[in-house]
Structure 1
Amino acid sequence: MAAWVLVCNPKKFRLREMLSDGGELTNWTVGRHLREIREGDAFALWLSGPQGGVAAIGRLNGEPRWTDEDDDDDYWSEAPGPRHVVPLRVEQWLEAPVPRAWFKRHDEFTGAGMMTQPFATNPHRLTDQQWQALKAEVEKTAKVTPELQLPENDNWDLEPGDKIRRVDLHTRYGGSRQGGISPSKTSNNIIFFTDPRTGEQHGYQDVWESEDHFRYTGEGQIGDQTFTRGNKAIRDHLQDGRHLRLFIGSRGTVRYAGEWILDPNHQYSWGRAPSTGGGEERQVIHFHMIRVGAAVTAPDVPVGAEYRVEDESTEPAPAVPSAPDPALTSETLKKHRRLQNALAQQVRGRHLKPLSPMPTDPAFDLAWRDGDTLTVIEVKSLRLENESHQLRTGLGQLLDYVDQLSARAPHVRGVLWVERAPSESRWVGICERAGVILAWPGSDTKVWQ
């Protein structure tokens, strides 16, 4: 295996702009060593200029071919015209380039082509010693930002239908600004994109089977797709606790299409699709996805995961004109979380396991199993002025939860857990007639019957 340096002049090709727009670098111009370049060779992408250096590393996907197409012509300051190009796959974009100064400090790179002949035709050859030294520096730099250290709260604030520039999306939530699947290192999101305008030319044939069911083709433009990088991240998203966020479009302004999960009964299948540009057919992954919020009725899909204790130290949010009193809102939220955590402690005290919802579940506050019976809880704080509203809302939510979960447990019962007895006792009978238990601290014996 050989290793090469491919030089990009940012004044001639606006690479950063292409990446900011969600573009993907899939080939590069070469003009020499054409008989020596082989599929599988390693490469480093070198940005010329005073702030330059190695910005990415990867593998070549094939041998040089002749083309007269102006790929990504929107980003060339001058159309490159007919030339040889080599297909490639970027495996890692660096947070900051390995600078020219680093190469000058290391004797291995004395006389290296990109240092002594920066304007020579691509590519420049690297010796095995040079490649190993560069790769070790890249790996050392990458260890500063671990592969997966996810915060508990991703603070996602986009709603389905919202539009955002892709560059702003990644600035806010992390993830690579190029490619179709973009796992974030700074939030617990996997951001992925579907775009028939650009996807089909690479064999990405995504299918909307219904409003709530979507079949998404994995990443990898040449050769059989495998469960690495983005494909692995999607496959393992539930066990890793990560959210799948779908966007329509891949460049410029994109539109949020909501949160999705893999179908627990049929996560993926294998299919056939052409390689980039209509090349040889290869094996591709088809992920079977369900929109979060759509009912999951498969009986063998478990309900809930280990209970996540709620933070009771919430502080008032900054005041917003016309918004409710932030101090009151904060106190209400604290009450809700105290009630919920205290009930979870009671569950543990009875040697049962409290559960929090998974993405496959409706958004209940708390649940547990006792034999064949699944109990789901909706917690509500009560103030005199909002009591009826809270009780109506909680009752409706529980009826929805019980209906959604009825196929996934032999017996499901709903409990509306409130902070005190309602001022109107009629609510106890209303809930009983609806098949829901209304209870509060001090009247909890019926919860455990």
Structure 2
Amino acid sequence: MSTWLLSCNPKKFDLEGHRRDGHLLSSWTIARYVDEVAAGDEFVLWVAGENAGVVAYGHLSGPAEYGQPDPSYWAEDPGPRHFVPLVVDKWLDLRVPKRRLVDDPRMSGATILRQPFAGSPHRLTEEEWLAVREAIEVSEVADPGWDLMPGEEIRRVDLHARFGGSSQNGIAPCSATDNILIFTAPSSGHQHGYYDTWNEDGTFHYTGEGQSGNQKMVRGNRAILEHSQTGKRLRLFDGARGTVRYLGEWTLNPDVPYTEDEAPATGGGALRKVIRFHLVPVKATVTAPELPVGQNYVAPDENVAPAPATPSAPDPDLVGRNLSTHRALQNLLAAEAQRRGHVALSPDVSDPDFDLAWRDTEGRLSVCEVKSLTPANEARQLRAGLGQVLDYQDQLRERAPEVSAVLWVERQPSEPRWVELCQRVGVTLAWPGQEESAFSG
């Protein structure tokens, strides 16, 4: 069995557009080794250009054939060519950058580096294949060079000494490591028009850099936008100076990576355009068991005008009529918890995005998801709420010896089976008038 590197010139074939339009990549044109490629051979897919690197891996599903490729995504009609059928096993979320392979002595003889314009495919030796696979593992799993845990604090000067990047900017791409360090600090950011926001669906909107004039997609802003193409991980920190707290690894929302908004310039100047990056956590942002859960409860405003409902809304309970009801239910339950002597909690930035939690007088933790109900959305809301509260409970088990799960809804469900279902999976389902059930666990 042979191993290959298939190369793509983005100026000739629009691979990104092909994927964006939902097409399945099932073959690749080749110019060499036509009689040697075979079913079962493994391959990696390389994209050339400014951010050259490995973007996918898979296996060949047959021998080479000859025919006319679909010219749709080619800059020019390629004409009849040899091609090899294939299956992509994985598209990488983070590209393996060329520089990572250039620095590996096992790749010193690789033809993709010595003769990058040679026709596809490039044969990889056993050593070269091992080097590429190890580099892919670094991109797919945890970076072995990163040893900070979410919730851990570090002096910013020490952070940059270990990982690189400028200590003066809110966005600090690191040339020595595959990281982009980004810092959020409301106390200092607001004076420059940086209004970063934590959203109820667990996402984070981060304002780009540029204190005056319209922000542009250059320097640090461009580094964030292209982080997956350059193979760099986004590392978010709370604080800008002195000691900062690591808030985990994040990535851009693939559907809406950023939007443009308006904000005042430094010192309250005229409104200008700012870039708002839409970040989502790569995984649960907390792994440190000793990190406390939650912060003192912050009651959401029940009277805020809700955004209109949209088909793409991440949670139907957080738009339209449901938002006001949701917040009222949540605030009433929090008030009841406090009346009983419990400590009501809102999620901190490092917590899973629960609606409400509380610690009772004996220190036991309960986590709660709140859902409004209408006849039209009842089943959907109950399914969603049950899944969410089980997820929160599972994440918090590392940080609390016992975690009770509560699903608090607007009214009694029309089908009694929901109560029994929740009981079977260890979740208390309750509604106004059933407060004793909610707090008895």
TM-score (norm 1): 0.43
Determine which structure has more spread, i.e. the larger CA radius of gyration: 1
